[in-house]
Amino acid sequence: MSVDASVREDPADQAGSVRTIRPLGRPLQGSIRVPGDKSLSHRAVLFGAMAEGTTRVSGVLDSQDVRSSVAAVTALGAKADLAVQPDGSLAGTVEGWGSAGPRQPDGPIDCGNSGTTARLLMGVIAPWDVEVTLTGDSSLQSRPMRRITAPLMKMGAEFFPAGREHLPLTERGCASLAPLHYESPMASAQLKSAILLAGIYAHGETSVVEPAPSRNHTELMLPQFGVPTMAGEREAAVTGPATPRACALDVPGDPSSAAFLVCAALLKPESAVEITDVSLNPTRIGFVRTLERMGADVSVSVVKHVGKEPVGTITARFTARLRGCEVPASKIASIVDEIPVLSLVAAHAAGITVFRQVGELRVKETDRLRAVIEGLALMGVDAWEEGDDLFIEGQPGLHPPAGLSFDTGGDHRLAMTWALAGLCGNEPVSVRDFGCVSVSYPGFINDIERLAS
The residue ranges that bind ligand S3P (CB under 6 A) are 39, 42, 116, 188-191, 193, 214-215, 333, 336-337, 360
DSSP count for the chain of H helices, then E strands: 12, 23
284 is in an annotated binding site: no
Q: Are 348 and 320 in contact (CB under 8 A)?
A: no
Report the alpha-carbon distance of residue 291 to residue 315 in Å, rounded. Answer: 12
Q: Give the residue with the Cβ less far from ligand S3P, 28 or 44.
A: 44
Report in angstroms how near the CB of residue 344 gets to ligand S3P at its nearest.
18
Report the alpha-carbon distance of residue 34 to residue 92 in Å, rounded. Answer: 19
> Cα torsion at 246, 247, 251, 256 (round to 10°)?
-50
Report in angstroms how near the CB of residue 210 gets to ligand S3P at its nearest.
9
321 is in an annotated binding site: no
Q: Give the residue with the Cβ less far from ligand S3P, 43 or 268.
A: 43
Q: Give the residue with the Cβ less far from ligand S3P, 214 or 319.
A: 214
Dihedral angle sign, alpha carbons of residues 399, 405, 409, 415:
positive
Report in angstroms how near the CB of residue 440 gets to ligand S3P at its nearest.
8
| Host H or E run for residue 199 | helix 189-199
Q: Give the residue with the Cβ less far from ligand S3P, 46 or 429.
A: 46
Q: Are 410 and 113 in contact (CB under 8 A)?
A: yes
What phi and psi values does residue 449 have, to the nearest 5 degrees?
Answer: -70, -35
190 is in an annotated binding site: yes
432 is in an annotated binding site: no
Spatial CA neighbour of 187 closest among 325, 309, 359: 359
Spatial CA neighbour of 4 closest among 51, 55, 74: 74
Report the alpha-carbon distance of residue 129 to residue 200 in Å, rounded. Answer: 15
359 is in an annotated binding site: no
115 is in an annotated binding site: yes
Report in angstroms how near the CB of residue 212 gets to ligand S3P at its nearest.
10
Across 307-449, the runs of DSSP E, i.e. the strands, are 309-317, 326-327, 352-355, 382-386, 389-393, 404-407, 429-432
413 is in an annotated binding site: yes
Report in angstroms how near the CB of residue 191 gets to ligand S3P at its nearest.
6
Report in angstroms how near the CB of residue 115 gets to ligand S3P at its nearest.
6
Q: Tell how strand 79-84 and strand 272-279 pair up.
A: unpaired
Report the alpha-carbon distance of residue 345 to residue 322 in Å, rounded. Answer: 8
Q: Give the residue with the Cβ less far from ligand S3P, 188 or 313.
A: 188
Bridge partners of 206? Answer: 238
Q: Give the residue with the Cβ less far from ligand S3P, 186 or 242.
A: 186
Q: Which residues participate in catalysis according to the annotation? A: 337
Q: Tell how strand 352-355 and strand 326-327 pair up.
A: parallel
- Residue stretches of the annotated binding site: 38-39, 43, 115, 143, 188, 190, 337, 364, 368, 413
- Residue stretches of the annotated binding site for phosphoenolpyruvate: 38, 115, 143, 190, 368, 413
- Residue stretches of the annotated binding site for 3-phosphoshikimate: 38-39, 43, 188, 190, 337, 364
